[in-house]
A and B are shown apart, each in its own frame.
Chain A
Amino acid sequence: MTKYYDIDDIITEEETVSVIFQKAASGVGIDPSAEIDFIEAGSKVELPFWLAHELQLRQAVSVNVPPCFNQKTRLEIQADSASVDLRSRCPFFYEFGCKIAPIVADRTIGFLLFSAFKSRYKEVLTKAHTATFTAGSKFWTILTKEEINLYETAQSAMASFKKWRMGGARFQVASILRRKRKSTE
């Protein structure tokens, strides 16, 4: 419940997963183009994560491992994790991974997330504090939302330091005072 109003969390749960219905369900029009509003047991359907999770708790469906954690992605992360475009696969790769791992009962996703983050962290670290905004913009299109947060934290800390170092007005004039002076001029 702590994350109930967290927009990022809501978007993460919107991610679709493919599920297989274990029980027949009638009166559900999940696919608007379907001719009958009836789902047979064993049919494969794409559902948002939050719905799949609830149905899985009631043993109505079984959840497949989503494509962003498939063999191909794993191999790519293993080969060169820093240049894998994780954002296009799943913008909340890590959050989603943490949520899906217990549901698909795949204990290896934890390892995958951890090793991916570990090596991508270094890349973010070296680029975040040094690269200027324009140079970095190409790099950050492949980052996931979590990594972008990290990257932006570093960038804003650096930017505020540079702003301070360049100097400028030490004290800001209150807007009321400024207005008063203008009117007398």
Chain B
Amino acid sequence: MAGQSDSELSLFSAEELEFTAEDEIVEIVPNLKMPPLNLISGDFGPFTPQIVTKVPLWLAVALKKRGKCSICPPQWMSLEKLTQVLEAERDSQEMSEQLPFHYVEISRLLFEHARDNIPDVYMVRSLIEDIRDVRFHKVETDLEAFSGRTIAVKIKNLSAMEVNIVRPFIGRALQAFYKHDSPELIPDPERVSDNRPQVVNNAPRATSKITFQVTCHIES
């Protein structure tokens, strides 16, 4: 699965995520007559002109490319809904749960292959970009909470692409934190934990005295 990715820590490339997202179900309006397709993931069809039917995104894109259907954009890809989501995202630090897990991938696929089926495509596109930016900024703010003793951060409703972008960075950062917070390097974290803020503030100053003594000892 991870064959395409170059970095050892990044599990998926963006293309691989897009591939996963293509299993999401969308509605299409076919303009051909075709018996049902019996696939491993389920039966799709029958296809009758002007009758709405549900198919996986990859099939919808394949049919669309051949001009055999028009894709109905999902509910959440409407101007009103996206404006509402953007407002919600801006208002709170929580991530909104109104968008699907693969919204970045689905919207990109639809923009690329089914531009003519999406009403107000330019507005929709820029709204989704804005939402993504706002959400990503929130993720960054949340990640600032890492400080060695905070070993986990709870971020709800993170989408597939967002988590994939920060995954390699977080992996390495946590490894570094783990390394520098290990008990061999920092003795007795329990002892200092009861009045930690003060100790942390004083630590470098107090410590330098000890170093000074050590060096004196060596030099004398």
Please list the residues of chain A having a beta carbon within 8 angstroms of any beta carbon in chain B.
20, 62, 64-65, 69-71, 74-75, 77-78, 94, 98, 101-102, 104-115, 117-118, 121-122, 125-126, 128-130, 146, 149-150, 153-154, 156-158, 160-161, 163-165, 167
Instruction: Specify which of B161, B168, B210 is in contact with A106 (CB 8 Å cutoff).
Output: B210
**Once the chains bind, are A150 and B214 in contact (CB under 8 Å)?**
no
B146 within 8 A of A: yes
**When A74-B204, A77-B204, A160-B14 are in contact, do A153 and B7 touch as well, CB less than 8 Å?**
yes
Interface of B is mostly: helix
Do the beta carbons of A153 and B172 come within 8 Å of each other? yes
Instruction: Answer whether residue B211 sits at the interface, using C-beta atoms and an 8 A cutoff.
Output: yes
Which of A64, A98, A128, A149 meets B185, CB within 8 Å? A98
Residues of A within 8 A of B218 (CB): 20, 62, 64
Question: Closest 6 interchain pairs by CB?
Answer: A108-B207, A110-B185, A164-B14, A154-B169, A114-B180, A110-B186
Closest-CB distance, B115 to chain A (whole angstroms): 12
A164 to B207, CA, bound (A): 49
**Bound CA–CA A164/B27 (angstroms):** 25
Query: Do A150 and B173 touch across chains, with their CB atoms under 8 A apart?
Result: yes
Q: Are A113 and B204 in contact (CB under 8 A)?
A: no
Q: Are A117 and B177 touching (Cβ within 8 A)?
A: yes
- How many residues on the B side are at the interface (Cβ–Cβ under 8 A)? 49
**Beta-carbon nearest neighbor of A95 in chain B:** B179
Cα-based distance from A126 to B112 in the complex (angstroms): 31
Binding site for A on B (CB under 8 A): 6-7, 9-10, 13-15, 18, 108, 112, 136, 140, 143-144, 146-148, 161, 164-169, 172-173, 176-177, 179-181, 184-187, 200, 203-208, 210-212, 214-215, 218-219
Known: A121-B146, A146-B176, A160-B13. A20 touches B211 (CB 8 A): no
Residues of B within 8 A of A75 (CB): 204, 208
Q: Are B207 and A117 in contact (CB under 8 A)?
A: no
Q: How many pairs, one residue from A and one from B, have CB atoms within 8 Å of each other in the complex?
A: 133
How near does chain A come to B195, taking the closest CB pair, in angstroms? 15
CA distance A153 to B169 in the complex (A): 6
CA distance A141 to B53 in the complex (A): 57
27 pairs of residues in contact across A and B, judged by CB atoms under 8 Å: A74-B204, A106-B214, A108-B203, A108-B208, A108-B210, A110-B185, A111-B204, A111-B207, A114-B180, A114-B186, A115-B200, A115-B204, A118-B148, A121-B146, A121-B173, A125-B140, A125-B143, A129-B136, A129-B140, A150-B176, A153-B7, A154-B169, A156-B6, A157-B7, A157-B10, A161-B165, A164-B108
- Chain A residues positioned under 8 Å from B9 (CB to CB): 153
Given contacts A65-B214, A77-B204, A106-B214, 16 further A-B contacts (CB under 8 A): A62-B218, A71-B212, A74-B204, A107-B187, A111-B186, A111-B207, A117-B180, A125-B140, A129-B136, A157-B7, A157-B10, A157-B166, A157-B169, A160-B13, A160-B14, A161-B14
Complex-state Cα separation, A117 to B148, whole angstroms: 10
Q: Would you give the shortest CB distance from A77 to chain B, in whole angstroms?
A: 7
Q: Are B185 and A101 in contact (CB under 8 A)?
A: yes
Q: Which residues of A contact B169 (CB under 8 A)?
A: 125, 128-129, 150, 153-154, 157
